[in-house]
Amino acid sequence: MSDVVEKTLTALPSLLLSVDSQPGSAKLSTSSKLGSLIRNITELTSKHEEEKLIQRELSSIKDQVSSPNTTMRQMKELMVRAIYCEMLGYDSSFTYIHAIKLAQQGSVLEKRVGYLAVSLFLNEHHELLLLLVNTVLKDLQSTNLIEVCMALTVVSQIFPKDMIPAILPLVEEKLNHPKEIIRRKAVLALYKFHLIAPNQVQHIHNKFRKALCDKDPGVMGASLHIYLHLIQENPEGYKDLTTSFVTILKQVVGGKLPMDFNYHSVPAPWIQIQLLQILSLLGKNDPGTSEIMHEILEESLRRAEMNHNITYAILYECVKCIYTIHPKSDLLEKAAKCIGNFVLSSKINLKYLGLKALTYVVQQDPKLALQHQMTIIECLEHPDLIIKRETLEILFRITNAQNVTVIVEKMLTFLSTSEDDHTTIDLVGKVAELAKKYAPDNEWFIQTMNAVFSLGGETMQPDITNSFLKLLSEGFDSVEEDRKLKVFAVNSYVSLLEGEPEKLPQRFLQVISWVLGEFSHLQQDVGAETVVCLLDKLLHMKNSTSETKTWVLMAMTKVCEGAACAPLVQSVCETYSSSLDTVLRQRAQELQHLSRDPALRARVLPPVCTREPLEVDSSLSFLDEFVSEALAAGAAPYKPSHQRQEELAQTKAVSYEPYQLTLPISTTAHTHTPSLLSISSSLSEGSADLSHKGGSSSLKLEGVKRVWGRGGYEAAQVETPSPPQEGGDPSISHTPPLTSEDTESKQQEQQLASSMFLGLDHSSVTLMGKGDSTPSWLKRKERGQTPLNDAQTFTDPQELTDPSPLHVVSPQFPQSPVIANGTSDTEAALALACLDTNRSSTNQLEDRGLSLYLPAELSGLICSEISVLCSSESLELSACHVHKLRSLEMIVFISNSSDNAVQQIQVQLHSEQLEVSCASESQMEEVKGHSVVVRQYSLRVRKPSVHVELIGTLFHPETPQNVQFTYRLPLSSFIRPLTLSTEEYGTMWLSFSNDTKQNLTLVHSENEGPLRATLNVLTEDLHLHVVEIIGMEAIVACRLLQDQPCLMHCRVHGDALAVWLRSPVPELPDCLIYHCQRALQGH
Amino acid sequence: MIRAILIFNNHGKPRLSKFYEHYTEDTEQQIIRETFHLVSKRDENVCNFLEGGMLIGGSDYKLIYRHYATLYFVFCVDSSESELGILDLIQVFVETLDKCFENVCELDLIFHVDKVHNILAEMVMGGMVLETNMNEIIMQVDAQNKMEKSEAGIAGAPARAVSAVKNMNLPEMPRNINIGDISIKVPNLPSFK
């Protein structure tokens, strides 16, 4: 029977096609059309002809796609041609809609081309994409595996954010599909959703765990993508999975996977690489977790025998991991050996990776660079520019005051040959940074900066010039040094202008004119008229831009003095006061007036050194009056651009849910309640931003804090052959005998090496840290700093006779506000209300003993667990944060466990998202032996985000490096209740425009209704204030420190709590929703 | 994550371009041109990595390329990808093309641009590496091609017949894994809700 059907089916097409116009040739002709197109293109000689040909082609495609007689099959061929044209860069937007149609209506094969065309033509924000949603929905439900696969592929490629909720359940369902390929694609599709809209997939994190233990290793491998990303965002949240990842890696390395996964007989190398990346994220700064993975890392190193490219990939990842996690000396030693193999390899790719590994490592282990110094020198002369650049990167990181001249010279030589803009910009910035930090003297500094300006040209980052000019104008502590520097700069510029100023870039000319304008009076030998003459020369140069001319005119205004320059100035004024450029005209006028009136000039342009720093009113408060008048006159209030865009987006928002049946009007009592079904675009936009911020570059190892203590570091060093020492000693033991010529060049190289690696093995090296360790000659004047409080120093509790009464932070907090030590009673009440939930953390806090040092006025308030930030030698830094009603205080404990006092300790904190103000006046601290110093910082949110992070640096005079640490705290720490009445709530609600809607799961409790119970959980964890509960609805308010309100409207809807948040701050609702979800998950 | 995959010939003519991030049409063309410019002037005996095209994300991004006869295969990736891993991925991709087209050459890529894209979609999905096993990729592509043949046979046939064929599920695509043995069991996981 089936045979018969089959035969009929095969016979059918020929019959049916004959009905079509020219059946058999249809396919041939279309495909040969593409063929002839390509043939024609290859025969063409000019871009212009190509353009003409493609335009012709496109117009013929246009005619055909719009003709109603075109079959889907022909459409498919047309699409391929359109794809080809689009790839060549020609717009074929008229085919987009047909691509969607093809995906909708075609048979499987045509559908595939349709989907392909859609994913190549459109982007996530394209309007037409909405038309695809239905097709994707249909295909996801198809019984045909291939259709499901296609739909998942297109979903992971492009899918409109707002439409995710529509297909999410279907994709989720696919996680349980019997076919592993479908499960795999579903996992990746969900990952894509997580990337663009993390809030919407919050609830399926558990399913990711399930995917991780899927019986098919492929699905497990796909889920690693997600975990890599999640752990990058929040390593703390996934520590419990460490053993699982280690077990998986163990099985993979042990060859437990099916042979299928082998690549060149290496078991699942890509999975291994990802696992190693995950482990390094988990083990970073965490001795406990690192401990778990030591064994498997060692095994990985051992198993990866050097035989194929891919094993090197694993080894490299392994080495990176070992250097990132908490150190273990014998592992480090093996890893260092491994890096050596890479660096010394004859394969150029491996050498490159070796150098890259070295750049990661040199900051922590400068000795390793010493070991390979000869290779590094060789690489400097390597024909491959990429290798050279990477070598310079290593040198940049080992630069110190002793070798700076040699290294900068090398960099400048490279720069003079480099043609690539990107490299130039990057390297110029580095040279400028080194020059500023380590310059041995004025002369060298000015000369180096001259080279930077002339090589950097116009592409240079503007902040280099700015910081250079700032440095010159602010000057240094010593007046004499200061004058010398400026005079030297003036001399050098005068001679440059006397030479060939035409060759200098515009930026440099601007710098020169500014410096001459400001400081030429310091140099007595050069008269004002000489300077004016030189400047005038610049005005006559053909290639001077009008911006440069403006700088020149301003410089002239400052310099012109005395009768000698008058005629020249007069002619300049005449030329430019009729210029078409208004700015130039303005400057010329100024020049004219000021040159005639020296008294006025002295008032308008006083010498830079006597100038007071300008105070800039960045809030533009002087405009307040004007604004209020305009408002009173009926002008619309100002809305920031993002708000305007959001409003626009809201008017365009589409509801993707089918319309519901019209119900009798009597049942729709709650007309004003927020609609559950439309997810506002502002939510997804905001959340996508968040995820991008977090995800972009966390694997970078630069600036990683030095993770191992002295012990491990030295142990590694003892067993390595002692590296050649500095000081012009060329007798390096392992150099093979050479011919005389070779020896000479070798010796040169070695001399270079000894000067370049100078100072690396001194304990006093100042390695490039994040903070600036400015050498003494560049000590800047300190500008106005307003001290607030004294830091509190305590003696060790052991020395106190009776330590017990000091337990100030105890759950038994007295009710009386008097004992709350100056904190207001509301604050105490807040503390009391939340004491129950925080009891556990309070207990832990007591265990540490550090809590004794909490400043008295903070006792009794909610306090986080004290966590160790970092340690260096005998110093240990710990921190916690304390919730005050008006602020969040961060307390840093610096404890010294040695017998000796440590002086001049400096802790600096900074953060992009927070404003940090320190409560103590002195920057430096002294910590006596066995005692603890407490520093208090108050934090304010500058830019809300789900978690905020502080980056800190500990400057410690006795160790060469600064220790870096990070401190993360959730945004919920900054949330405080906001007490207001229902009426106030109503007016505020209407005035806020940033909102987010989301459904939360309800908490069920025996004693109370679900709404009550859920609200209780939320108010306890997040410190919200419940304004009123009306039936199944509730309104809640809170504020973000200082005074940024956020209002919340909740309504019970079936099994979920529909929450609608509004705030004047765009990011706040999204962040708060996240924390609400977390709080409810915990229950 | 992989940001873009580009294939062009020795003269800089694009043969395939796939961007996993949105760029405007002009930027895409400029990226292709700039990448070609960067890659083409490199000798054969230098490393296969390049850093920092200005257009495609600056210093956080790397170009990893391989040159085969007349074609350059360039992957543009961010810093989280392993350089050598991607280099071998390109090798897998080319070997797969070679198997699918039997001695692949530049013309195959031109005339079957859709097929090449489909093969690529089985390897890399939305910028993430999906499959690295050549046999598995070929199996998936073959399964789709079988569909193509069966479809070609019934083009225009009565709708009933079409739906009958469509609803016949594809033959199982067994993956020779012995599920009993692999035991990727993850211990100590918290219970799933």
**DSSP track, A753-774:** HHHHTTTTTSTT-----SS---
* Helix axes A506-519 and A479-498, enclosed angle (nearest 10): 130
Q: Which of residues 461-490 of A touch B (CB under 8 A)?
A: none
A536: pLDDT strictly greater than 80: yes
A47 to chain B, any CB pair closer than 8 A? The answer is no
B174: pLDDT strictly greater than 60: no
State how far the Cα of A416 lies from the Cα of A252, in Å rounded to an integer: 49
Strands (E) across chain B are located at 2-9, 14-19, 49-51, 61-68, 71-78, 124-125, 128-129
**Whether the Cβ atoms of residue A154 and residue A123 lie closer than 8 Å to each other:** no
Greatest Cα pair distance, chain B, in angstroms, is 60
Give the residue-averaged pLDDT of B141-150: 75
Give the residue-averaged pLDDT of A435-455: 85
State how far the Cα of A666 lies from the Cα of A37, in Å rounded to an integer: 67
Q: Which of residues 24-83 of B touch A (CB under 8 A)?
A: 25-26, 28-29, 38, 42-43, 45-54, 58-60, 78-80, 82-83
Q: Which of B90, B130, B139 to mutate to test the interface with A (most CBs of A within 10 A)?
A: B130
Q: Do B179 and A216 touch (CB under 8 A)?
A: yes
Q: List the single residue in B with minimal CA-CA distance to A259.
A: B177
Please tell me the number of Cα atoms within 13 Å of A1032 on its side-chain side.
Answer: 12
Q: Which range has the worst mean pLDDT, A484-488, A842-846, A1000-1004?
A: A842-846
Q: Which residue has the higher pLDDT, A772 or B122?
A: B122
Q: Do A144 and B190 touch (CB under 8 A)?
A: no
Q: Which of A426, A480, A414, A471 has the alpha carbon at shortest distance from A446?
A: A471
Chain A residues closer than 8 Å to B59 by CB: 422, 426
Chain B residues closer than 8 Å to A429 by CB: none
Question: Would you state the pLDDT for residue A785?
Answer: 40
Token look-up 């987006």 returns A649
Q: Which of B81, B186, B189, B192 to mutate to test the interface with A (most CBs of A within 10 A)?
A: B186
B15: pLDDT strictly greater than 50: yes
DSSP state letter for A998: E
A231-290 pLDDT per residue, tens: 988 888 888 889 999 999 999 988 888 888 888 888 889 999 999 999 999 998 888 888
DSSP state letter for A1047: E
Structure confidence at residue A426 as a pLDDT band (50, 70, 90): confident
User: What is the Cα A525 distance to its own chain's centre?
Assistant: 51
Q: Which of residues 203-262 of A touch B (CB under 8 A)?
A: 206, 209-210, 212-218, 220, 222, 225, 228, 240-241, 243-244, 247-248, 251, 256-261
Structure confidence at residue A741 as a pLDDT band (50, 70, 90): low
Residue A772, token pair as written in the block? 């600036």
Q: For residue A705, give every residue at least 6 positions away whose Cβ sits within 8 Å of its Cβ, in sequence order, or none.
A: A285, A870, A963, A964, A965, A966
Give the residue-averaged pLDDT of A344-359: 88
Q: Do B117 and A351 touch (CB under 8 A)?
A: no
Question: Would you state the pLDDT for residue A276?
Answer: 93
Chain B residues closer than 8 Å to A217 by CB: 177, 182, 184
With b meaning 16 or more CB within 10 Å and e meaning fewer, what string describes A80-90?
bbbbbbbbbbb
B85-108 pLDDT per residue, tens: 999 999 999 999 999 888 888 888
A852-870 pLDDT per residue, tens: 777 777 777 777 778 888 7
Give the residue-averaged pLDDT of A719-744: 44
A975-990 pLDDT per residue, tens: 888 888 888 888 888 7
A149-183 pLDDT per residue, tens: 989 999 888 888 888 888 898 998 888 888 888 99
Q: Do A261 and B133 touch (CB under 8 A)?
A: yes
State how far the Cα of A811 lies from the Cα of A836, in Å rounded to an integer: 8
The minimum CA-CA distance between A416 and chain B, rounded to whole Å, is: 19
Residue A687, token pair as written in the block? 């959340």
Q: List the single residue in A with minimal CA-CA distance to B149.
A: A109
Question: Would you state the pLDDT for residue A761?
Answer: 55
Question: Would you state the pLDDT for residue A278?
Answer: 93
With b meaning 16 or more CB within 10 Å and e meaning fewer, what string describes A190-215?
bbbbbbbbbbbbbebeebbbbbbbbe
Name which of B53, B110, B130 is nearest A184 (Cβ-Cβ).
Answer: B130
Question: Would you state the pLDDT for residue A210?
Answer: 86
Chain A residues closer than 8 Å to B83 by CB: 313, 316, 349, 353
Q: In this structure, is the dihedral angle defined by the CA atoms of residues A993, A996, A997 and A1000, taken in order, positive or negative? A: negative
Chain A residues closer than 8 Å to B182 by CB: 215, 217, 251, 256-258
Q: Which of residues 479-538 of A touch B (CB under 8 A)?
A: none
State how far the Cα of A598 lies from the Cα of A589, in Å rounded to an integer: 15
Q: Which range has the worst mean pLDDT, A20-24, A118-122, A133-137, A927-931?
A: A20-24
A85 to chain B, any CB pair closer than 8 A? The answer is no
Question: Would you state the pLDDT for residue A700?
Answer: 39
Across A96-105, A834-843, A897-906, A1072-1081, the highest mean pLDDT is recorded for A96-105
Name which of A256, A386, A420 is nearest B182 (Cβ-Cβ).
Answer: A256
A728: pLDDT strictly greater than 50: no
- The rounded percent of chain A whose pLDDT value lies above 90 is 5
The minimum CA-CA distance between A276 and chain B, rounded to whole Å, is: 11
State how far the Cα of A905 lies from the Cα of A952, in Å rounded to an integer: 13
Give the residue-averaged pLDDT of A835-841: 39
B74: pLDDT strictly greater than 90: yes
With b meaning 16 or more CB within 10 Å and e meaning fewer, what string describes A9-21?
beebbeeebeeee
Q: Which residue has the higher pLDDT, A1 or A1054?
A: A1054
Q: Which residue has the higher pLDDT, A965 or A20?
A: A965
A298-350 pLDDT per residue, tens: 888 888 776 788 888 999 999 999 998 888 888 888 888 888 888 888 888 89
Q: List the single residue in A with minimal CA-CA distance to B147.
A: A109
Q: Which residue has the higher pLDDT, A241 or A806?
A: A241
With b meaning 16 or more CB within 10 Å and e meaning fewer, what string describes A257-270?
bbeebebeebbbbb
Structure confidence at residue A692 as a pLDDT band (50, 70, 90): very low
Question: Would you state the pLDDT for residue A413?
Answer: 86
State how far the Cα of A148 lies from the Cα of A154, in Å rounded to an integer: 10
State how far the Cα of A56 lies from the Cα of A199, in Å rounded to an integer: 48
Q: Are strands A924-927 and A931-941 parallel, antiparallel or unpaired?
A: unpaired
Give the residue-averaged pLDDT of A714-733: 39
Chain A residues closer than 8 Å to B129 by CB: 270
Q: Do B60 and A212 touch (CB under 8 A)?
A: no
The minimum CA-CA distance between B133 and chain A, rounded to whole Å, is: 7
Question: Would you state the pLDDT for residue B8?
Answer: 92
Q: Which range has the worst mean pLDDT, A124-133, A273-282, A536-545, A725-734?
A: A725-734
- The rounded percent of chain A whose pLDDT value lies above 70 is 76
A373 upstream amide cis, omega within 30 of 0: no
3-state secondary structure of A858: helix
Q: Calculate the average pLDDT of chain A.
A: 75
Q: For residue A633, give every residue at least 6 positions away whose Cβ sits within 8 Å of its Cβ, in sequence order, or none.
A: none
Structure confidence at residue A657 as a pLDDT band (50, 70, 90): low
Name which of B46, B84, B178 is nearest A310 (Cβ-Cβ).
Answer: B84
Give the residue-averaged pLDDT of A752-780: 50
Q: Which of A608, A587, A590 has the alpha carbon at shortest distance from A469?
A: A608
Structure confidence at residue B54 as a pLDDT band (50, 70, 90): low
Question: Would you state the pLDDT for residue A275?
Answer: 93
Question: Would you state the pLDDT for residue B85?
Answer: 92
Question: Would you state the pLDDT for residue B56?
Answer: 61
What phi and psi values does residue A379 have, to the nearest 5 degrees?
A: -65, -25
Question: Would you state the pLDDT for residue A614?
Answer: 63
Question: Would you state the pLDDT for residue A563?
Answer: 67
The minimum CA-CA distance between A209 and chain B, rounded to whole Å, is: 8
Chain A residues closer than 8 Å to B130 by CB: 184-185, 188, 222
Question: Would you state the pLDDT for residue B191?
Answer: 40
Structure confidence at residue A740 as a pLDDT band (50, 70, 90): low
- The rounded percent of chain B whose pLDDT value lies above 70 is 72
Q: Do A263 and B92 touch (CB under 8 A)?
A: yes
The minimum CA-CA distance between B88 and chain A, rounded to whole Å, is: 7
Radius of gyration (Cα) for chain B, nearest Å?
20
The one-letter code for the residue type at A857 is E
**Whether the Cβ atoms of residue A876 and residue A868 lie closer than 8 Å to each other:** yes
Neighbours of A928 (CB within 10 A): 17
A531: pLDDT strictly greater than 70: yes
Q: For residue A1033, give every residue at least 6 positions away whose Cβ sits within 8 Å of its Cβ, in sequence order, or none.
A: A670, A673, A1049, A1050, A1051, A1052
State how far the Cα of A416 lies from the Cα of A401, in Å rounded to an integer: 24
With b meaning 16 or more CB within 10 Å and e meaning fewer, what string describes A805-818?
eeebbeeebeeeee
Residue A858, token pair as written in the block? 């903070």
Chain A residues closer than 8 Å to B5 by CB: none
Q: List the single residue in B with minimal CA-CA distance to A93.
A: B25
Q: Do A247 and B125 touch (CB under 8 A)?
A: no
DSSP state letter for B82: -
**Whether the Cβ atoms of residue A225 and residue A191 lie closer than 8 Å to each other:** yes
Q: Do B189 and A123 touch (CB under 8 A)?
A: no
Name which of A13, A31, A251 is nearest B184 (Cβ-Cβ).
Answer: A251
The minimum CA-CA distance between A354 and chain B, rounded to whole Å, is: 12
**Whether the Cβ atoms of residue A769 and residue A763 lie closer than 8 Å to each other:** no
A202 to chain B, any CB pair closer than 8 A? The answer is no
A632 to chain B, any CB pair closer than 8 A? The answer is no
Residue B44, token pair as written in the block? 């054969």
Size of interface A-B (CB pairs under 8 A): 251
Question: Would you state the pLDDT for residue A652?
Answer: 56
Q: Which residue has the higher pLDDT, A376 or B155?
A: A376
Chain A residues closer than 8 Å to B14 by CB: 87-88
Name which of A206, A421, A699 is nearest B193 (Cβ-Cβ).
Answer: A206
Q: List the single residue in A with minimal CA-CA distance to B47.
A: A349
A29-86 pLDDT per residue, tens: 445 677 777 777 767 777 788 888 888 888 888 888 888 888 888 888 888 888 888 8
**Whether the Cβ atoms of residue A518 and residue A558 lie closer than 8 Å to each other:** yes
Write the CA distances from A118 to A101, A502, B30, B135, B145, integer angstroms.
Answer: 10, 53, 22, 28, 20
Structure confidence at residue A719 as a pLDDT band (50, 70, 90): very low
Chain A residues closer than 8 Å to B188 by CB: 240, 243-244
A617-626 pLDDT per residue, tens: 777 778 888 8
Residue B102, token pair as written in the block? 């039997």
Give the residue-averaged pLDDT of A204-213: 85
Q: Three-state secondary structure along A684-707?
A: HHHHHHHHHHHHCCCCCCCCCCCC
B142 to chain A, any CB pair closer than 8 A? The answer is no
Name which of A109, A206, A697 is nearest B148 (Cβ-Cβ).
Answer: A109
Q: Do A317 and B82 touch (CB under 8 A)?
A: yes
Q: List the single residue in A with minimal CA-CA distance to B59.
A: A422
Strands (E) across A1020-1055 are located at 1025-1030, 1033-1040, 1044-1053
Chain A residues closer than 8 Å to B11 by CB: none
Structure confidence at residue A649 as a pLDDT band (50, 70, 90): low
Question: Would you state the pLDDT for residue A794?
Answer: 38
Give the burial class of A23: count Cβ atoms within 10 A of its Cβ; 0-12 exposed, 13-18 middle, 19 or more buried. Answer: middle
Give the residue-averaged pLDDT of A721-743: 44
Radius of gyration (Cα) for chain A, nearest Å?
35
